[in-house]
Structure 1
């Protein structure tokens, strides 16, 4: 049913409210893989283990970061068509996840890891340690925005806003407006305010809600 269609069972006024904050990150999370491939399974495992221990020792010397690592996986690799006559080689790999609080060290750390035989960075993202508090704040602001809108509608319609009948939490990531090839979030207001971060890796935190009020 189209959004503008007449509601079959009107209950009052239904309003949408949202809020969005962009805050500078204070933590970077880096994922990378250490792996070696060799016709001999023991060699593949030993080379990967040696690099793993060297990298772990390097990370242990960094005071601004913590890390975790998986166990070493060992498996048969696929052969290329040119090597179909040769036995399939073995690949050993281990996954690392590093959390950094000194973001200025990210570039130099990646350069250090490349020198230590890391050739596959699987992902880098930025976050903030204050995420929980920020989420609570944007949810409050989304409710305020919805209630303010409901009060305005009731006032202009010459009726009184009644009791709250329903609250529906919405996922702001699923509220998208498609303009050509670009998908943008739908928010009531998206203003650049003095406290809005312009950091290129800003953490975006959003909230959206639908409130339903009775009318008197």
Structure 2
């Protein structure tokens, strides 16, 4: 008898439970679409040369020229950041008689992260930095300088969506919806980066840019009581 009782208890604990009796659990989703007012760009310079000194010199010259242009265009220091400076040997594919590989040159590179708060200048800026020597382009991401209002509105819409679902389920089940027992805030997401091909930058005129819209979303999980 004790063994049977233990089996029953174990089966009960293993059973999935999504909601207690007298409760309705729903998830809500809300999003806000609007035009972006900022762009984030990641670009840089990469050069190869016979000597490490020459490779690094070319990268430094290109990066300095890009930074100078950005300053002349009116970008603030807080919106420009360099990172990822590297210098690596370029190995020959063949081996010596002793089984070692020769270094045939060096590759150097640097990356610049840029925030552009005036989107009207974006196309011309991209064109100019390419002329200055930037030859790697790793992404263009449109966003919002201050996403707080959009995030709050997305949360409001998520809660409204959850309540609408709960009211529908309660009506379909023939019960009255009660108050909120628990509300869990889910993740608030921002738009994914929009990438451009490097070839699109090799244009004589300013790079054409289509901003489109950005979407800010939120999710909530709400547990409602079923009224007596």
Match of 2:90 in 1: 77
Q: For the pair shown, which has the larger CA radius of gyration, 1 or 2?
A: 2
Deviation at 1:26, TM superposition (A): 0.3
Match of 2:138 in 1: 122
Contact kept? 2:89, 2:103, Cα under 8 Å? no
The 1:107/1:200 distance shift into structure 2, 3 A limit, reads: closer
Aligned partners of 2:136 and 2:167: how far apart in 1? 55
Aligned partners of 1:159 and 1:85: how far apart in 2? 78
Gaps of 5+ in 2: 1-15, 95-99, 190-209
Higher helix fraction (1 or 2): 2
Q: RMSD of aligned C-alpha atoms?
A: 2.8
Match of 2:217 in 1: 206
Match of 2:150 in 1: 134
Instruction: State the secondary structure of the residue aligned to 1:10.
Output: coil
Aligned partners of 1:12 and 1:206: how far apart in 2? 26
Cα shift readout 1:111-158 (whole Å, capped 9, x = no counterpart): 111211111111111001231221111111211221233234334544
Aligned partners of 1:114 and 1:92: how far apart in 2? 17
Q: What's the TM-score, normalizing by structure 1? A: 0.74
Contact kept? 2:93, 2:101, Cα under 8 Å? no
Aligned partners of 2:138 and 2:89: how far apart in 1? 21
Quick check: 1:26 aligned with 2:37? Answer: yes
Gaps of 5+ in 1: 174-198
Quick check: 1:160 aligned with 2:176? Answer: yes
Structure-to-structure mapping, 1:90-101, within 5 angstroms: 90-101=106-117
The 1:143/1:101 distance shift into structure 2, 3 A limit, reads: same
Contact kept? 2:91, 2:102, Cα under 8 Å? no
